[in-house]
Amino acid sequence: MQKVEICGVDTTGLPKLTAKENEELMFRLKSGDRLAREKFIVGNMRLVLSLVKRFRARATVLDDVFQAGCVGLIKAIDHFDLSVGVKFSTYAVPMILGEIKRYLRDGNSLRVSRSIRDTAYQVLKARERIESRDEEATIERIAREMQVAEREVVYALDAISDPVSIYEPVYNKAGDTLLLMDQLSDEKNTDEIWTERVALSEAMGKLGDREKRILFLRYYEGKTQTEISEEIGISQAQVSRLEKTALQNIRRNIS
């Protein structure tokens, strides 16, 4: 999103329209003024850019996402009703987002089979029936309602759900934005594991260069002791002895 030019549009030169200018242009374009329509589209491209940022982690080509957003903007312009009494941006945002999500979904190499989509449709209908009875539509109840295995319900719902970016904002107050990734835990990066890595690094630092080289070739490159002996010019028995001693020293320094 650091691109200055996207789809041939210099984003630094995009105009900023006031609420009054937006309103005046909207009245004119609805009356058939083509010049007003062009000015209105260009003047609202900043709205598209602000929404495109939400998909920066999912999109490989931001130019294409921006184009999809512009299509949504134009659709919003064409369908906007002046008599509704809402701001254009309020009406346009869902349409722009919908067009972008549709592009990302249709452009995804993963295709959901017709049978899975049919199952998902039946799952949604079953959920509606259960909720209409003021009951909680759990996976177990849906499966029982449909007389299928619970895993089929879960698989069908997962197949039709849109992927969500870990950079998707889930909370925003007073300028403090909380992203989805802020609520995800990393079981591979706990304080305990981090401490063990530091201890291992310190223990490795106490080894000699030859011992470090042997452990690197043995456990990082996956070479046999015979291959290592040929590479560093010592016998296989020496390699075995040095490897064993190095591992013992590491265990002693970590414990």
Phi, psi of 242 (to 5 degrees): -65, -40
Residue 148 has pLDDT above 80, yes or no: yes
Residue 242 has pLDDT above 80, yes or no: yes
Share of the chain above pLDDT 70, in %: 75
| Model pLDDT, residue 28 | 92
Q: Which string of b and e fits 231-254 if b means at least 16 CB within 10 Å?
A: eeeeeeebbeebbeebeebbeeee
| Model pLDDT, residue 179 | 65
Residue 135 has pLDDT above 60, yes or no: yes
pTM strictly above 0.85: no
Residue ranges of the alpha helices (H) in the chain?
19-30, 34-43, 45-52, 62-79, 88-106, 114-132, 139-146, 150-160, 191-205, 209-215, 225-232, 236-254
Share of the chain above pLDDT 90, in %: 11
* Cα–Cα distance, 242 to 212 (Å, whole number): 10
Give yes or no for a contact between 38 and 29, defined as CB atoms under 8 angstroms apart: no
Phi-psi region of 143 (alpha: psi -120 to 50; beta: other; left: phi over 0): alpha
The structure tokens listed for 39 are 């000015």
- From residue 79, give the alpha-carbon distance in Å to each of 17, 28, 52, 101: 20, 15, 21, 19
| Model pLDDT, residue 181 | 62
Using DSSP's 3-state secondary structure scheme, residue 9 falls into strand
The structure tokens listed for 93 are 């945002």
| Model pLDDT, residue 167 | 58
